[in-house]
Homo-oligomer: A and B are copies of this chain.
Amino acid sequence: MNLAIQPVSEEYALAYPSMAALTACYLQVRRHTLALAEPLSDEDCGAQSMTDASPVKWHLAHTTWFFETFILERYEPDFAPFHSAFRVLFNSYYNGIGEKHPRAQRGLLTRPSMAQVRAYRANVDQRMQLLLARSGTGEAAAQAELATLVTLGVQHEQQHQELLLTDVKHLLAQSALLPAYLELALARAGAAPAAHWLRFDGGLTEIGFQGQGFCFDNELPRHRQYVAPFELSSQLVTNGEYLAFIAAGGYRQAALWLAEGWDWVRQQQLSAPLYWRREGPQTYEFTLYGEQLLDPARPVSHLSLYEADAYARWAGARLPTEAEWELAAALQPVPSAQAGLPHTGGLHPAGASAGAGAGASGDQPQLLQMFGHCWQWTSSSYAAYPGFQTAEGALGEYNGKFMLNQYVLRGSSCATPAGHARLSYRNFFPAGARWQFTGVRLARQQACHAR
């Protein structure tokens, strides 16, 4: 089957598109979510492999619940819920909405069935279309308010599209049968180009979202930040480089690790990234295309922040801050960065040569693999920007309440839907999370040391 993801239309990127364009965008994203579930059986869609992950069925229902709870309940004249119990069953973390089904028990929701969840989606889609059609004739302010909520719902669903893929990858990896999400033999990437250090001046700059389109509240307000001169690597750390770190005893030297990371390594007795398997001299990697021989030229992925940080220390470098990352991305000719890259290599990170894009020709080194391959750990704790404001009501819980003990990741991954990434996008996870497509781009303060 064809899972090639179409980029969301240009009009959508406008702040308040026409209701017709918004409706088209809504339907496109909603259909894509269903398409992602197509390679899976109903059984696959019900299981939950760990508390952090959710069943595919739950993603399908929760994204629908979001539209029903935050939009239809407010705008439908004679609102009646599709099913009264769904308000609790598919509430993720909104205390302002009320009770929640326990997160660790989402895999026990064999009822409602996938068929019922599909019916739920169809029902809400129908009502949303009706609502949007009616609203097209309303006042501008009311239209804008509705458009903002719908756009948030669409972006929210795109976030769950990525989680759906990473969660199902984690689930399939638990099986001794190592089943593929999609059957495909991954081609070997060509040899990776040599990595370069690219220098950036920094200074008193600004970061945070600017422009007309949508952004999440945590990307605002745009604000000044002083950044000292720094260097970034032109590309992501590769599997081959990471193998060298392992071979050099990286997982056995306390001095390379943060204290909490060292405890984590020893308690879990780790010696490789998630999804790697050693068998004799070979290393295999479990992918959404099933288990594949590890490709040294592709970027290393599924690293915790602990591992990313230890690798950087071993390499005589460090992780970038999120400001450094955003500044560099803004200054460099990153192809279509703001609009988001359609991922070119499918559902697995591609080698640097493959990700170079149209503008990568010429001698001038540039930043490769900023988007569409691996999220890139930064050393920045996830925190509110100065002057950050949360929304009123339950939607205020969307981002703000998670700003503690998590770290920011920048860029986007092969699992990020097209059109979803942004220069100012702030993804965030706890330091030990490994089931996302998370990799490393190195930074350093000065150019005086050879890498």
In contact, B96 and A255 (Cβ under 8 angstroms): yes
B41, B226, B254, B397: the one contacting A95 at CB < 8 Å is B254
Determine how close the nearest CB of chain B comes to the CB of A297; give it in whole angstroms: 31
When A259-B93, A402-B259 are in contact, do A49 and B108 touch as well, CB less than 8 Å? Answer: yes
Which residues of B sit under 8 angstroms from A384, Cβ to Cβ? 318, 379
Interface size classification for chain A:
35 or more
A135 contacts chain B at the CB level, 8 A cutoff: no
Instruction: List chain B residues, Cβ under 8 A from A204.
Output: 204, 226
A41 touches B228 (CB 8 A): no
Least CB separation from A393: chain B residue: B255
Q: Which of B44, B49, B254, B318 contacts A111 (CB 8 A)?
A: B44
Bound together, the chains give a CA A204 to CA B405 distance in angstroms of 27
Contact of A110 among B46, B112, B113 (CB under 8 A): B46
Asked if A260 contacts B405 (CB within 8 A), the reply is: yes
A175 interface residue (CB < 8 Å to B): yes
New A-B contacts (6) at CB < 8 Å, excluding given A41-B110, A46-B110: A46-B47, A85-B177, A95-B254, A258-B402, A259-B401, A305-B404
A424, chain B: closest CB distance, angstroms: 17
Chain B neighbourhood of A48, CB < 8 A? 107
Please name all residues of chain B whose beta carbon is closer than 8 Å to the beta carbon of A85 when the two chains form the complex: 176-177
Decide if A114 is an interface residue (CB 8 Å cutoff). yes
- Within A349-394, the residues touching B (CB, 8 Å) are 379-381, 383-384, 386-387
Q: Is A431 an interface residue (CB 8 A)?
A: yes
Interface membership of A346, Cβ < 8 A:
no
CB-based contact B445/A386 at 8 Å: yes
A225 in the interface (beta carbon within 8 A) = yes
Docked-complex contact B177 and A387, CB < 8 angstroms: no
The 5 closest A-B pairs by CB, nearest first: A381-B381, A95-B254, A259-B401, A226-B226, A44-B110
- Asked if B386 and A47 sit within 8 Å, CB to CB, the answer is no
Contact of A105 with B257 in the complex, beta carbons under 8 Å: no
- CB of A223 within 8 Å of the partner chain: yes
Interface: A88 (CB within 8 A): yes
CA distance in complex: A423, B210 (Å): 36
Contact residue among B114, B309, B404 (Cβ-Cβ distance under 8 Å from A260): B404
A interface residues, Cβ below 8 angstroms from B: 41-49, 85, 88-89, 93, 95-96, 101, 105, 107-114, 171-172, 174-177, 179, 204, 223-226, 228, 254-255, 257-262, 305, 309, 318, 379-381, 383-384, 386-387, 396-397, 401-405, 431, 445
Q: List 25 A-B contacts (CB under 8 A).
A: A43-B43, A43-B46, A44-B110, A46-B46, A46-B47, A85-B176, A89-B176, A96-B255, A108-B174, A109-B175, A111-B172, A204-B204, A223-B228, A224-B228, A225-B226, A255-B397, A258-B402, A261-B404, A262-B401, A309-B404, A318-B384, A379-B384, A381-B381, A386-B445, A405-B431
CA A108 to CA B42, docked complex, whole Å: 13
Q: How far is the CA of A224 from the CA of B226 in the complex (A)?
A: 7
Nearest residue, chain B, Cβ from A230: B386
Residues of B within 8 A of A261 (CB): 404
CB-nearest residue of chain B to A309:
B404
- Judging by beta carbons under 8 Å apart, are A379 and B386 in contact? no
Give the nearest-CB partner of A96 in chain B.
B255
Inter-chain contacts of A172 with B (CB < 8 A): 110-111
